Chains A and B, each alone.
Chain A
Amino acid sequence: MATEETPAQSGGDSFPLTFKKQLTGDVHWNVANGRWETITHAETGEPNSEYVLLATIDGVDVPLATYNAGGIETIIKSQKSLQQGG
Chain B
Amino acid sequence: MAALMTCVNTFKQSLTGGSFEALAAATKDSLQVVATGDPGTPAGWIEEVWASNSAHKMEWEIFSQRFGDNQNGWRGQLMFNPTVTTSNKMQLTAPRTVDIPVWSSDTLNVSVNGTASDNANLGYQIYYQNFLGSEQRLAPYSLVESAVKNGISGNSRVLGIEVTVTPGTTGNYGTAVALNANDDRLQADYDYALIGYTCDQPVMCFGISGPDTGQYRIPMPGFWDARHTSDWFLQQSRWRGGARVPIINANNKAGTFLDGIDPGNPGATKLSLYLAQLPTKFTG
Contact = CB atoms under 8 A, between A and B. Distances in A.
A23 B278 CA distance: 40
B270 A68 contact: no
A26 B14 contact: no
B85 A32 contact: no
Interface of A: 26, 28-33, 37, 39-44, 48-49, 65-71, 73-75, 78-79, 81-82, 86
A41 B268 contact: yes
Contacts of B169: 43-44
Given A31-B182, A37-B182, A42-B177, A78 B117 contact: yes
Given A68-B86, A69-B267, A74-B119, 11 more contacts: A31-B184, A33-B182, A41-B166, A41-B267, A42-B165, A43-B168, A70-B87, A70-B264, A70-B265, A71-B87, A74-B55
Chain A interface helix/strand/loop/mixed: mixed
Contacts of A42: 165-166, 174-175, 177, 268
Contact of B264 (A28, A68, A86): A68
B54 interface: yes
B267 to A, nearest CB: 5
A32 B182 contact: yes
18 contacts: A28-B164, A28-B182, A32-B182, A40-B268, A41-B267, A42-B166, A43-B166, A48-B268, A67-B85, A68-B87, A68-B201, A68-B264, A71-B86, A74-B119, A75-B54, A78-B55, A78-B117, A86-B117
Interface of B: 14, 54-55, 85-88, 116-119, 162, 164-166, 168-169, 174-175, 177, 182-185, 200-201, 263-268, 270
Instruction: Name the residue in A66, A75, A79 with the highest tally of chain B Cβ atoms < 10 Å from its Cβ.
Output: A75
B54 A74 contact: yes
A69 B54 CA distance: 12
A71 B55 CA distance: 8
A67 B164 CA distance: 19
A28 B200 CA distance: 12
Given A31-B183, A31-B185, A71-B266, A43 B85 contact: no
